[in-house]
Amino acid sequence: MAMHQAPHLDWSLAALALESGISRTSFATAFKKAMDKILRKYLVALRLALARRAFKFELGSNASKLSVQ
């Protein structure tokens, strides 16, 4: 899916429907049915998951150097 290939882009319902070659209504309905989330919530969750993964990768073994003050 285009969102996964370029999650940093400002994906709109219209853009993804155009990418898929179907109407916005059809895309929104199919997306909600398949993913059990609306597009915006899915995209936010995707971006947060990628950020978490990047953060964990960056921390690596340096996690023990972090302290709570």
CB under 8 Å to 26, separation ≥6 — which residues?
A: 17
65, part of any domain: no
58, part of any domain: no
User: Tens digit of pLDDT for each residue in 5-54?
Assistant: 999 999 999 999 999 999 999 999 999 999 999 999 999 999 999 999 98
Residue 67 has pLDDT above 70, yes or no: no
Which residue range forms the structural domain that includes residue 33?
Answer: 2-48
62, part of any domain: no
14, part of any domain: yes
13, part of any domain: yes
Q: Give CA–CA dist 44/57, Å, rounded.
A: 20
Task: Give pTM, 2 decimals.
Answer: 0.74
Residue 68 has pLDDT above 70, yes or no: no
11, part of any domain: yes
39, part of any domain: yes
Tally of structural domains, the chain? 1
DSSP state for residue 10 in the 8-state scheme: -
Under 8 Å between Cβ of 19 and 3: no
